[in-house]
Amino acid sequence: MAKIQVEIDTSEDAVIVVVDGELKKLSPPPSGHGKNEVIWKDNKIFKAYNGETVYFSRK
């Protein structure tokens, strides 16, 4: 397995995963509120969800 060194900008919050040797940055939800969820299959990352949280104000 080849190893490489990369430089990552640590001045911003981010979720970064390695898929087949490449770095993939998961985008935050458009509203800025929500979650990223990674699904694994056979010990490999299969897919990722970018879920958005919607808040409702209650009286």
**Residue 42 · residue 23 · CB < 8 Å:** no
pLDDT of residue 41: 94
CA-to-CA separations, 52 to 10, 22, 33, 49, 59, in angstroms, rounded: 24, 26, 6, 10, 23
Helix (H, G, I), strand (E, B) or coil at 47: strand
Q: For 2-58, what is each residue's pLDDT tens digit?
A: 788 989 999 989 899 999 888 999 888 878 888 889 999 999 999 988 887 777 887
pLDDT of residue 34: 85
Retrieve residue 58's tokens: 């209650």
pTM: 0.68
Domain layout of the chain by residue ranges: 1-59
**Residue 36 · residue 47 · CB < 8 Å:** no
pLDDT of residue 24: 92
pLDDT of residue 25: 92
